[in-house]
């Protein structure tokens, strides 16, 4: 390996790029054909701030993206990104609706190389991550570079582009590349993947670092060489710094705790907080515990429910489901076509279609609530054939418990009413609420700042900050459960000032 030559070329290109990056603000698209190969769907477009800066990246697991550290500034520290950052994953054509759009809530910079890991606030479920290469490229190797940046004729392309390059030198931490044909690396490509073709597809060997940008729009330079950051020797660092959260969701009753783990398995315990865990179903996306029932919604849209003793067998109660709700004697589902149906009584009871055009359903033993796709919260009381009563508009979430109805509005306010369906609303928060939970005489709010707040008793009783950095919140009459952003599940039992007990 020609290390001195690689270092000299890296220094030359870096010097040539300093003024360009400083004045342009945006990061370093690959000037090549638009990509249609779904095998490259692990590529990521990143927008930082109010779209003032763009970079590229690559999905390394469903929670983490790798990109260039320089995208986040000259000095980068671990923690929240310095600018609000959005990642678009698996969308080769940015005008399409496929893939995932996620915010980034944490970054972890490499101590020496131009590499940073960006954690997604929510996982990119179903997305395929790149395979990390573990052997270095050699001089003469053919590689593929991909990115969402500028091309020869577009300032802001709306598609992933890719081009072929040849390795001319391999350094301790960098790769020197020269373009094949008209390929080049432009602004907006920083952090994008440099890939080796294999019989099984592609594997990641580098990330875009610097380029002469010859052939890029508005660039007069003719050279198309680039220096890229090696990652083929960073497998251990990637593994150590891209953990999958232990827990994603917790559901509590006064006697049971259910957890959706980070690996999408489910489990529950009955009795005290130190009781042993019992495994449930794998490949899940939701768990609901209510009375003596446990419900699991799996990734394939099957709703499974068991009732009675912990040894009871799960029954598949419905398919093509996107949301599941439970009470002691009712099961509610919203199917993929937006139909809310409810069954009352045993698990084998018949389904009763309740409403079309629905995004969420909530059930108690005496009430059914739906949130329509138009943002209208409706509730019926009594039998399943009772009349729907519109309760509120401009709603993004509905919750029911006993004689209480709660809503979170699209402006982030939260209201609860107590008593009959025509009772007045009691404001719980005027803004900043992400979700609301009701159980017994407790109201739980999870704020957009990730603070779990609970009030107990009257609707105007003090709102207590219970925990910070919270991903998910659940309450029962005597328990509060949270999942922290980093994945640990904690539960407190008794009063709101009781201590937290880590349970998973």
Secondary structure of residue 465 in the 3-state scheme: strand
Q: Specify if 303 maps to a domain.
A: no
Q: How many C-beta neighbours within 10 Å does residue 478 have?
A: 17
Looking at residues 203-208, what average pLDDT do you find?
97
Does residue 320 lie within any of the structural domains? no
Q: What's the rounded mean pLDDT across residues 270-295?
A: 97
Q: In the 8-state DSSP scheme, what is residue 34? A: B
Q: List C-alpha distances in Å: 279 to 257, 270, 294, 313, 487.
A: 12, 12, 12, 12, 18
CATH number of the domain at 441, please: 2.120.10.60
Say what the pLDDT of residue 50 is. Answer: 77
Q: Note whether residue 166 is domain-resident.
A: yes
pLDDT surpasses 50 at 276: yes
CA atoms within 13 A on the CB side of 324: 26
Element (H, E) at 18: helix 3-24
The span from the CA of 212 to the CA of 200, in Å, is 32
- pLDDT single digits (tens) 302-325: 999 999 998 999 999 999 999 999
Range of lowest pLDDT (99-113, 144-158, 379-393): 144-158
Tell me the pLDDT band of 357, cut-offs 50, 70 and 90.
Answer: very high
The boundaries of the domain holding residue 152 are 3-241
Q: How do strand 321-326 and strand 315-318 relate by DSSP bridges?
A: unpaired
For 339-365, what is the mean pLDDT?
98
Q: Is the pLDDT of residue 481 over 90?
A: yes
Q: How many CB atoms lie under 10 A from the CB of residue 337?
A: 10
Select from 331, 329, 328, 332 the least CA-distant residue to 345: 329
Last residue of one domain, picked from the residues 194, 209, 241: 241
Q: Assign 187 a pLDDT band (cuts: 50, 70, 90).
A: confident
Does residue 147 sit within a domain? Answer: yes
Report the alpha-carbon distance of residue 88 to residue 47 in Å, rounded.
9
Q: Residue 37's pLDDT band (boundaries 50, 70, 90)?
A: confident
3-state helix, strand, coil in the chain (%, to 5): 5, 45, 45
Token readout for 286 is: 């939701």
Q: What is the mean pLDDT of residues 108-128?
A: 95
Instruction: Say whether pLDDT at 23 is over 50.
Output: no
> Is residue 339 domain-resident?
no
Among residues 177, 208, 241, the one where a domain terminates is 241
Does residue 97 lie in a domain region?
yes
CB atoms within 10 A of CB 78: 11
Whose CA is closest to 229, among 301, 187, 175?
175
In this prediction, residue 155 carries a pLDDT of 61
Please provide the average confidence, as pLDDT, over all residues in the chain: 91
Which residues are within 8 A (CB) of 194 and not within 5 positions of it... i.e. 6 or more apart? 143, 144, 145, 165, 175, 177, 204, 205, 206, 207, 208, 228
Domain count for the chain, please give it.
2
In sequence order, what are the residues at sequence separation of 6 or more whose Cβ sits closer than 8 angstroms to the Cβ of residue 299?
A: 125, 126, 264, 283, 284, 285
- Of the three residues 241, 258, 293, the one that is the final residue of a domain is 241
List the structure tokens of 390: 């519109």
Residue 17 — pLDDT band, cuts 50, 70, 90? very low
Separation between Cα atoms, residue 245 and residue 223, nearest integer Å: 45
The average pLDDT across 78-86 equals: 95
User: Could you tell me the pLDDT band of residue 30, with boundaries at 50, 70 and 90?
Assistant: low
The CATH number of the domain where 10 resides is what?
2.40.10.120
- Give the containing element (helix H, strand E) for 7: helix 3-24
Question: Average pLDDT of 110-123?
Answer: 96
Q: Which of 3-17, 41-55, 61-75, 190-204 has the lowest mean pLDDT?
A: 3-17
Q: Which pLDDT score, from 0 to 100, does residue 204 have? A: 98
Count of beta carbons in the 10 Å neighbourhood of residue 243: 14
Q: Please, which residues bridge with residue 185 across strands?
A: none
Q: Per the domain annotation, does 278 fall within a domain? A: no
C-alpha angle 56-58-60 in degrees, rounded to nearest 5: 155
HSE toward the beta carbon, residue 406, CA cutoff 13 A: 25
Does residue 194 carry a pLDDT above 70?
Answer: yes
Give the range among 18-32, 255-269, 457-471 with minimum mean pLDDT.
18-32
The answer to whether position 124 is within a domain reads yes
| Mean pLDDT of all residues in 413-442 | 98
């Amino acid at each position: 390996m020609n290390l001195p030559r690689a270092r000299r070329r890296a220094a030359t290109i870096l010097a040539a790029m300093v003024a360009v990056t400083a004045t342009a603000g945006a990061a370093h698209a690959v000037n090549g054909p638009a990509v249609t190969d779904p095998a490259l769907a692990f590529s990521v477009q990143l927008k930082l701030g109010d779209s003032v800066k763009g970079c590229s990246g690559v999905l390394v697991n469903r929670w983490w993206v790798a990109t260039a550290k320089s995208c986040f500034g000259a000095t980068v520290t671990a923690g929240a990104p310095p600018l609000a950052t959005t990642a678009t994953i698996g969308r080769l054509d940015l005008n399409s609706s496929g893939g995932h759009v996620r915010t980034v809530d944490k970054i972890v910079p490499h101590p020496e190389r131009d590499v940073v890991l960006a954690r997604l606030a929510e996982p990119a479920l179903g997305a395929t991550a790149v395979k990390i290469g573990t052997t270095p490229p050699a001089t003469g190797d053919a590689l593929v570079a991909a990115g969402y940046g500028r091309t020869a004729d577009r300032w802001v392309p709306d598609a992933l582009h890719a081009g072929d390059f040849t390795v001319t030198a391999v350094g301790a931490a960098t790769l020197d590349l020269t373009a094949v044909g008209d390929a080049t690396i432009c602004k907006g490509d920083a952090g994008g993947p440099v890939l080796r073709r294999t019989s099984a597809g592609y594997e990641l060997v580098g990330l875009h670092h610097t380029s002469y940008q010859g052939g890029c729009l508005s660039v007069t330079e003719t050279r198309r060489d680039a220096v890229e950051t090696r990652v083929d020797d960073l497998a251990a660092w990637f593994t150590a710094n891209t953990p999958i959260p232990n827990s994603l969701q917790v559901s509590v009753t006064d006697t049971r705790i259910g957890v959706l783990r980070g690996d999408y398995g489910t489990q529950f315990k009955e009795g005290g907080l130190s009781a042993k865990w019992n495994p449930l179903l794998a490949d899940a996306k939701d768990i609901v515990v209510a009375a003596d029932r446990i419900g699991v919604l799996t990734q394939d849209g099957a709703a499974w429910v068991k009732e009675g003793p912990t040894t009871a067998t799960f029954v598949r109660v419905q398919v093509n489901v996107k949301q599941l709700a439970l009470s002691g004697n009712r099961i509610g589902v919203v199917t993929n076509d937006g139909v809310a149906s409810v069954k009352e009584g045993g698990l084998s009871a018949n389904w009763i279609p309740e409403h079309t055009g629905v995004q969420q359903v909530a059930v108690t033993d005496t009430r059914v609530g739906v949130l329509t796709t138009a943002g209208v919260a409706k509730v019926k009381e009594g039998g399943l054939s009772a009349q729907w009563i519109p309760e509120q508009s401009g709603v993004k979430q509905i919750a029911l418990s006993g004689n209480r109805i709660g809503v979170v509005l699209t402006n982030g306010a939260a209201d609860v009413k107590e008593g009959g369906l025509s009772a007045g609303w009691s404001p719980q928060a005027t803004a900043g609420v992400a979700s609301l939970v009701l159980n017994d005489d407790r109201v739980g709010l999870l704020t957009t700042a990730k603070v779990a707040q609970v009030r107990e008793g009257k609707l105007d009783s003090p709102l207590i900050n219970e925990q910070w950095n919270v991903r998910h919140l659940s309450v029962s009459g005597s328990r509060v459960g949270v999942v922290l952003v980093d994945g640990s599940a904690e539960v407190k039992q008794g009063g709101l000032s009781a201590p937290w007990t880590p349970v998973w």
